Amino acid sequence: MRAVVQRVSRCRVESMGSVRAEVDVGLLVYLGVAADDQQRDIDYVADKIVHLRIFEDQDRKMNRDVLQTGGSVVVVSQFTLYGDTRKGRRPSYNRAAGAVEAERIYRALIERLAGYGVDVGSGVFQAHMDVVSVNDGPVTILVDSRKEF
């Protein structure tokens, strides 16, 4: 499982003509699910997301997590995080999970995040979305449950 985690001061996800998720301070998470992801991947990535100390404390040091700031999390499915560009010019998505399994794991991750007590919004799985965000910092962190990067 791969996640691109961005610290945002604003974020809005629109799909099919309506706003699906909107937050002020918090995290925007683009989530890619691999074909062989399991519960341990969900647990690892969820724990990393909620406990990443990427928010500033009173000394302007990145020392607080999203729980400590009272921020929210928006999760957007992003199978293209498993795009392999090593051969040719068209990415291969062979390592990405199929739609049914990816949606199950995507929803399980959202539930796991909510279980930590954080407010979680989400995009629409397998739909075209417009994601508007203000990356605060900018701060962007890559999380990979297999620790490939």
**pLDDT of amino acid 133:** 98
- Residue 149 designated active-site: no
Rounded mean pLDDT of the chain?
97
pLDDT at 92: 96
Q: How far is CA 115 from CA 25, 51, 66, 109, in A?
A: 19, 13, 14, 10
Q: Is the pLDDT of residue 148 over 90?
A: no
Annotated catalytic residue, options 38, 39, 68, 80: 80
Peptide bond into 138 cis (omega under 30): yes
3-state SS assignment for residue 126? coil
Is there a catalytic annotation at residue 78? Answer: yes
Predicted local distance difference test score (pLDDT) of residue 149: 74
Note the pLDDT tens digit of each residue in 37-50.
999 999 999 999 99
pLDDT in tens, 52-95: 999 999 999 999 999 999 999 999 999 999 999 999 999 999 99
Residue type (1 letter), 21? A
CA 30 to chain centre: 4
Stated pTM of the model: 0.96
For residue 143, CA distances in Å to 14, 18, 28, 32, 124 come to 25, 29, 13, 10, 22
Structural domains in the chain plus CATH codes: 2-144 (3.50.80.10)
Contact 66, 73 (CB under 8 A): yes
